[in-house]
Every structure is written in structure tokens, then in C-alpha cells.
Structure 1
Amino acid sequence: YAPALALSVVTGIDLALTILFMGAMGTLYTALGGLAAVIWTDVVQFIILVGGGIWVAATLALDVPGGVTEIFRVTREAGHLDIIDWAPSLTEMTLFVVMISYFIQFLHDYGVDQVTVQRLMATPTLGGMARATLVNSFISVFVVGLLAFIGLGLYAYVNVGDHPFPDGLNRDEIFPYYIIHALPQGISGLVITGVFAAAMSSVDSGINSLSTIVVNDFVKPLRGKEMDEGSDVLLARILVVLFGGFAVGVAFFASTIGDMIKTTQGFLGAFSGPILALFLLGILTKRANFPGWLAGMVCSVGVVLWLQYNTDVHFVYFFPISTIGTFVIGFTTSLLFPSSIQTESNPADV
């Protein structure tokens, strides 16, 4: 939805058509090329994204009277640089909350997220995995810092000099509006391609991971007999198409639910937290079972979705709430209703 919205704002093409186009493109090259296509297209997309981001940051520094110094002065006076705040708050993103929340989220992203796991498993050696993770950590800090500076620059661009955005422009449309109206022709297309690339990376990785999980963890064990590799590849491609269609449907739904960042973080917290809790239950306990985890997941997802739509609790809380809630309820329920299947395995080996 995010890149489709940017493309729609820039080109004037109907949002529905851009969603369909992007969904079809991502699904097509993922189905035909598999993981290799996903990885190599992501490499190219990353280069375009970073290059476009650097160009936008430099342009903002030149467009704002006073340059970088003025950008930081204006945003500091507005309170956007007040990040060292240790006071816990349910409604604001303070440093104390961010450290706890994103520590838990990174456990998921780098420990159990299938998208990350597939990339690491494609690396031939353990040392290569470690180096890739380390390099990714440093690059992520740079990219996040770059995007944060762009956000600060856009705020200063609007509030310093005569650069008002039109009335009715929502927050999700500000960046693409700046790109198309402030950057030179050609460069604006490159930057929009970078935005496009960033989201396409998530789409292709997600649908490829889902199809791989279904084939290897569900179809093959349930089938109980060997089939030729060609049949498995065909099934995986069919699943990619189906999941791609589902992603398009979710994008249409996302266009109706308001603030994109809050909604995305809400759903990630609600449904990714229980996945991390599932692995933690398997690693840290001997008594946990699937019915217990399922009960914890249902309760936690329900609580997070209720908080998202009925309270002012900040979305940064959703991930730890769903993870800790699923773990505690799952473990407690497993003790109250023990499984009839017993295992002697060491929990550290699960």
C-alpha cells in the first residue's frame, strides 16, 4: 500500500490501479525466480533506496534557508529532538519504552522471522551469517538516521520560508508530494523508485517465505511420501500467486484504515509477538504445549487490537504486550491443561 500511495500521488494514477500493478509485479518475479530473485532484486532496490534517500536529504539541506543548522534549530524548538526521556508513558514514545519494546522486536526480527531466517540460511557459512548480521546492523543505523533526517528536514521545509503543503494532504502523502514538487524531473522518478523498492522488498520476501513454510512445514510432512522437486516448485509458485493476491487484498484494506504507521505497527505487534512467544516457550520451558500457546495468542491478539482501536496507548507497547502476554498465558494454560504427549527433549534443543 505504501509505495502504491506514493506512485498514485506522483503520477495521478488511481490508487487501486497502482496497488494491482505493484502486487502483480512483485508476485510475478517472486514466482518465477524464487529466493534468488528476491535476494538480487532486494540488493538493487536497496542501492536505489539509499541513493534516493541521500539525494533527498541533500536537497532538503539546500532548500531550507540556513541549511542543516536551521533544520536542527527548528526541529529542536518544536521538541522533535527531545529523545532522552526516561519517564515511562503509555501514550508517548519515550526512550525507556523504545529500548524495551525494540529489544523484544529485534529478538523476533533476527531470531524467528522467516524472512530473515531464509536470507541467513542462503549464506553458505556460519561466519558469513554473523558477518551479514553485523553489517546489516551498522547499515540499518545509517538508513534509520537518514530517514529520520529527511523527516526533520520536511518539517523545517514547511515551517521555514514559504513552502506550505496543500490543505487535505495527509501524513502518508507528504513525502511523495515533496518529491514530485521540489525535486528535478528524473531525480523525482528515481527517488519514487527508491520508495517503491523499499516496500517491494517486504512484499516479495513475505510471500516467498509464506510459500516456503507451507510447502516444507505443512505439505511435505502431511503428504508422507516423496514427490519430485519439480512438483514442489510448481506448488510453491502457485502459493506465491495466492499469497500475492492476499497481499493485494490487504493493501486495499489498508487504504481505508487511516494512519499507516500506527496500523502497521499494531498488526505487527499483535501477530508477530505471539510467534516469538512460541519459540520462547519451546526454548525456555518443558511444560508448554500448543493448546496453551494458542490460548495465549488469542488473548494477546484480542487485547492488542482492542488497545489499538479503543485507547490512546502508543503502538510501541503492542509488541511487548503481545509477546509477554502470550508467553505468560501460554505457560499458565499449559500447566493447567497439560498435553497428553510427553517429551524427554532438552528445551534448549527444541
Structure 2
Amino acid sequence: MAERCPYPFPRPTALGIPERLTGIHDEPLVPVVLPSGDEAVLLTRYQDVRQVLTDDRLSRNLDRPDAARISRHNSMFQDPRINPDPPEHTRVRNLVASAFSAARVQRLEPRIHAETDELLDAMERSGGPVDLNEALAFPLPVRVICSLLGVPDEDVALFRHWTSAFLSVSHFPREEIRAAMTEMSRYIAEHISHRRAHPGDDLVSAMIRAHDDEGRLSEYELQWWCRLLLLVGYETTATQLGGGVAMLLSHPEQLRLLRADPALLPNAIEELLRWKLVGSSVSMLRYATDDIELEDCVIKKGTSIIPAADCANQDPDRFFDPRTFDITRSDNPHLTFSLGPHFCIGASLARAELRIATQALLTRFPNLRLAVPAEELKRQEGALLEGFTEIPVTW
């Protein structure tokens, strides 16, 4: 195989596709070096990525001596007390899934509308320009997920720093990550204790019942899943929402199409998801527990491999003219939410928030535009999610 290049790949601009993705599908396996310095392999082709995401020989359990690490400062996905593979993963996932069912998300929609309207009211009163991240993209999903998990409104602001530390690849030093995790663990323990004494119609209360009454969760699993859902249940949606609006504003011809025909919004949301604005696929790192034969290659046992959705979503064998941003694209089975046992459990909620917030924003502000040239937007460095540092908009 060729010389290894660093991954995630650099972008020419904040909204641009990495140049390294051009022609990457000529090879099914591409060797890369992760931020930790460890070596791994990208699986690049759509059909191969789709196939292995449902193959139980590709493990998400990275607590192995020869498995690559994403970060040398942060042991994400390497907790020896948690096995993120079936059947253990499936047991807990089934417990959590009911909170993100289509019916539950539909019941949440009035809350999403109300929170969106409140944030847009404040944005309108400010007179602009504003940072869309702070005005809408981050506060909306964190309020929604905290409501779903029974977190009091006054505690919502605590999660921004904890999340940044939790998702840090190289941005924060090891000591600061550990300190943030300690604070977060203390908060979660107190939150679980409070919910035991005062249960409600929320996911944490349901998980407590599964532990206390049914024995379906260990105490550590209870705390680990609360932490995971509290901290990563909103940042991906926030990054996608802000980046998606910036993408639309930087493509005026597509924005005009959407304004002329609001029925295109679901298509637009899926095309923005295909663009994978949250960043690379480094979080999809897996470990091959056996040889896996594909059409044009073999993934060898012991290989650390990334089934790369950012590559698959740009595969010209699956997507017509993939490097063109086209909100009229209807055949769009992107892999941004993954597939199989690790399909994003919050996909329905994310889609609802993206749809409701984008529609409300564009309706409220018909002259909405970027307050800086799109080329001047910047992404944060050293984080698992390549979020935008700020997205200045005016109207």
C-alpha cells in the first residue's frame, strides 16, 4: 500500500471537501496515520463501507493492545468496562432506543418548535450580526437533549466545556480532560441520585428503573450511558445545523430553490448530511477480529480500519456528480448516520431538529446571509468533531 497520510484530511476551506478525497476510490484501502500517531486503514468505497458496517467481525471494542487509538491524550472508545459490541451493546441500546423512537420524537416536536421560536426571538431582538452557533445551533439541541434526559434548565450551560473535553483529540491536555471528566462524573452521579428520589418521564429515570428494578443495567453502565447521552447527544446536531445553514447561504442558487419550494427541505437536509459537515469519519474506527473478504480486497485480522462515510458519501459509483451540492438530489442513501448495530440512535431526533430549525430560521429571516465571506469561516482543530468556531450571520 502507499505511504500513509495524516487523517483527518485537511480541507481547502471550512465548507470545502478535502482535496485528498479526489480519486481516493481508485483504491479500496488507503493507509493513514491518526492524530495519536497510530496507523490505520481507510475503507473508501460505498459498497464496501456499507457491507462491513453490518459485519460482526468488525468490532468497535478498541480495548485491545494492538488496536489503534484516535488520540494519545484521550482514551475515547477504549473503556475496558464497556463492550460496545453486540450482544452487550444491543442490550443497552434497546433500552435507550425507545426514547428516540419516531413516536417519541413526534411528541417532542412542539418543544423543538417552541425552543426554536424563543431563540429566534432573541436573535431578532439583537439586531445582528450574530454568531449562529451561539444564537441557535448549539443552544437548541442541548436544550432538547437535556429536556429528554431530565436535566434542569439552569444546568444546561455546564455541558459545553465538558463536551469539548470529552471530544478532544489534541485540543486539551490530558490533565484538563481528566479534570472535566471528573466534574462531569460527579454531576451525573448527583443527577442520578436526584432522579432516583424524584423520578420523571425522562430517559435517565427509565434507565434507573432498568437498573434498580429489573437488573438490566450495571451501575457503571448506567453512569456511562448517561454521560454519553448527555454529552454527545447534541454536539453533532449543533455542528450539522450551523454548518448546514452556512452551506446553504454560501450556495445562493440552492437557497433560492429552497425558498421557492419549501417542500425541498427534507431533500436539502439529506444532502447536507451527505456532505458530512460535522467532519471526518475518525470516530468510526473499528478493529477486524477476523479476515473479511470484500470484492476487491481483504481486510486482514488485527487491522484497525475506518469504514469512512466521508469517502463513501463521495463515491461516484454510488452518487451522481458527488462533488456537486444539489438539494434536489433524491437518491441519497448517505452513510453519515452509519448503519447496522451502530446506526445513530438519535437520527430521527437530529433530522427533526435540523428540519424545524432550518425552516424556521429561513422563514423568519428572508434576507439572512453570512456576515463574512464563506472562505473566512474556520473550523476548530484538535476535536473529534470539526465544528465551526463561529458562523457570523446578518439580515
TM-score bracket for the superposition, by shorter chain length: under 0.3
Structure number having the greater helix percentage? 1
Q: Which has the larger radius of gyration?
A: 1
